[in-house]
């Protein structure tokens, strides 16, 4: 799946030092996928901080999370096969 990523322990340690962050209270993970809770660094207004957030994007038109995550692997190769009414649905 193209949306998966990993948290490399060496890069994580480097980020902690570069951004003067506290040591995170989670373990490095090598298979983070959409809909999973994952660590992020966010700007809390007074500097960077760790937060756990759900990985993925939910389209504004999605009524429930199940629908949202089914759109994650949309492919450019099949975009031309979408009918105009389906395109209108996305707007």
Secondary structure (3-state) at 14: helix
- Whether residue 43 sits in one domain with residue 61: no
Answer yes or no: are the C-beta atoms of 56 and 74 closer than 8 Å: no
Same domain, 47 and 63: no
Q: Domain check: are 7 and 43 in the same one?
A: yes
Task: Let me know whether 1 and 16 are in one domain.
Answer: yes
Cβ partners under 8 Å of residue 45, min gap 6: none
pTM more than 0.75: no
What pLDDT does residue 1 have?
Answer: 44
Domain of 40, in residue numbers: 1-56
- CB under 8 Å to 5, separation ≥6 — which residues? 32
Splitting the chain (91 residues) into consecutive groups of 10 residues, what average pLDDT does each group show? 74 88 79 82 88 80 64 62 56 54
Tokens read off for 73: 């692997």
Q: How much is the pLDDT for 81?
A: 62
């Amino acid at each position: 799946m193209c949306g998966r990523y990993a948290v490399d322990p060496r890069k994580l340690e480097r980020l902690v030092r570069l951004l003067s962050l506290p040591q995170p209270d989670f373990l490095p993970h090598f298979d983070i996928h959409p809909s999973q809770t994952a660590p992020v660094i966010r700007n809390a207004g007074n500097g960077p901080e760790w937060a756990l957030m759900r990985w993925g994007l939910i389209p504004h038109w999605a009524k429930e999370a199940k629908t949202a995550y089914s759109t994650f692997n949309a492919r450019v190769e099949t975009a031309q096969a979408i009918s105009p009414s389906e395109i209108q649905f996305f707007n």
